[in-house]
Amino acid sequence: MAGPKILAMVMAGGRGERLYPLTLERSKPAVPFGGKYRLIDLVLSNLVNSEIGGIYVLTQYKSQSLMEHLHQGWHISDPRGKEFVIPVPAQMRMGDSWYRGTADAIFQNMNLIENHRPDLVTIFGADHVYRMDVRPMVEFHRKSTAWVTIAAIPVPLAEASSFGVMRVDEKGKILEFQEKPKDPAPMPGRPEMALASMGNYVFDRDLLLKVLVEDSRTDSQHDFGRNILPALVSSQRLFAYDFSTNECPGSGKGPERGYWRDVGTIQAYYDANMDLKNPEPVFNLYNRQWPLRTANYNDPPPKFVFDDGERRGSATHSLVCEGCILSGGQVKDSILGRNVFVHSWTHVSDSILMDGVDIGRHCQIRRAIIDKNVRIPAGTVIGLDAVEDGKRYYVDPESGIVVIPKVGGPEQKTSQIER
């Protein structure tokens, strides 16, 4: 028997305010990740690899960078019109306001669902790091005869107060929603853990359309997690899908199973990137059975030149993307995006350099995130003196990581950076 017809709606309009200043000029889903990818590539790869062909990407906040990336990397040509990845800008179809919440974003684009006429609608976020086969979640949804299924991840009970928690029975039926509770409900059979919502949903189409219309007539926050889903609990047809049981091809039962990271802060973003370069990373970019897709730019291979004492082009324990030239400069424990140039006698360590960064001679760069196309003058020292860094650059108050954005914000002393 043929499976259900599924339409995916990807929420990609987030501001990502806690990722400032990386989100000065782009939305959070457009933030680069792992050298050559964007955060949105992760959810789109999960959906496409799960054989979900119809995907709408709902954009809003500073979406130009994201739209260009989708055009470059996710243009799918299907004469039948059954497989597509289409960005949908906010169009004010239902009034004179932008999206007022996650549910309102779907409500304002209900025509896409009505025209496509799917059996099920998946609603996924676009700014988390994880690998997921969506098909087992859909199968769980159908076997449970659920109206809505919510992907959930087990978190230690001591940390659960930072999440939206669900109290469930032994079969996964949701009995109660708890928003950042002081005393979170434990999982059945796992009293040391609680189930936190990942913000990914599977809806029966007719129910979704019905509740969206009903919510639009109320004075609510028009949000799935805060309004629509809690109101449906009494129906007894809401279920939680335990993401830790998800088996993704190529991942097996290793440490990546159940790995999900919200990269909403500079520290979390930095840690997720740094994991990728490890000999045995938790999140493995090299899973050939579940590949990550992104835009390809036909750049030349990376080049490492000079081997003369301290003037040696080298990179160790690092990811180095296409087009990079390490011209007598040394890189360690770092991630380099496309077309990065590291000049002679320069040392870069524990850093993320995005596309087009140019590091001059005799520089020392440590624990920094340098955004696209920034030129660092010769002799610059970053990350070795917190006091001096604070005078010249933006320093993340939580982690102490120096972040140099594409365009100077009010906290950045732009006179120190050449562009």
Reported as a single tens digit per residue, the pLDDT across 229-238 is 999 998 889 9
Quote the CA–CA distance of 171 and 54 in Å, as a whole number.
30
Does the 6-276 domain belong in CATH 3.65.10.10?
Answer: no
Looking at residue 100, what is its pLDDT? 78
pLDDT at 419 over 90: no
Q: Give the pLDDT band (50/70/90) at residue 94.
A: low
Dihedral of alpha carbons 342, 348, 354, 357, sign: negative
Picking from 76-90, 250-264, 296-310, 318-332, which range would have the lowest pLDDT averaged per residue? 76-90
CB–CB of 118/142 below 8 Å?
Answer: no
pLDDT attached to residue 252: 73
Mean pLDDT of all residues in 184-202: 95
Q: What is the mean pLDDT of the chain?
A: 92
What is the pLDDT, as a whole number, of residue 2? 66
Q: Pick the more confident residue, 36 or 63.
A: 36
Q: Range with the lowest mean pLDDT among 22-36, 153-167, 246-260, 357-371? A: 246-260
Answer for the pair 66, 30: CB distance below 8 angstroms, yes or no.
yes
With a cut of 50, say whether residue 14 has pLDDT above it.
yes
Give mean pLDDT, residues 330-353. 98
pLDDT at residue number 95: 57
Contacts of 274 (CB under 8 A, 6+ apart): 333, 335, 350
Please tell me which residue, 99 or 362, carries the higher pLDDT value: 362
Q: Is the pLDDT of residue 120 over 70?
A: yes
Mean pLDDT of all residues in 184-204: 96
Tell me the domain boundaries of the chain: 6-276, 303-416
> What's the CA gap between 380 and 374, in Å, rounded?
13
Q: Residue 143 pLDDT > 70, yes or no?
A: yes
**According to the model, what pLDDT value does residue 93 have?**
57
- What is residue 219's predicted lDDT score, i.e. its pLDDT? 85
Residue 260 predicted with pLDDT over 50: yes
Banded pLDDT at 44 (limits 50, 70, 90): very high
Tell whether the model's pLDDT for residue 416 goes beyond 60. no
Annotate 161-195 with DSSP letters as a single string.
GGSEEEEE-TT-BEEEEEES-SSPPPBTTBTTEEE
Cα–Cα distance measured from residue 417 to residue 375, given in angstroms and rounded to the nearest whole number: 6
Task: Calculate helix-pair angle for 39-49, 64-73, nearest 10 degrees.
Answer: 40
- State the CB neighbour count (10 A cutoff) for residue 48: 18
> Which residue is associated with the tokens 């779907």?
106
Query: What CATH number belongs to 303-416?
Result: 2.160.10.10
Reported as a pLDDT band with limits 50, 70 and 90, residue 415 is very low
| Strand 84-88 to 394-395 pairing | unpaired
Q: Is the pLDDT of residue 96 over 60?
A: no
Q: pLDDT band at 99, cuts 50/70/90?
A: confident
pLDDT > 90? residue 7: yes
**% residues pLDDT > 90 (the chain):** 81
Q: How many CA atoms lie within 13 A of 141 on its CB side?
A: 24
Q: What is the pLDDT of residue 216?
A: 87
At 80 the pLDDT is 72
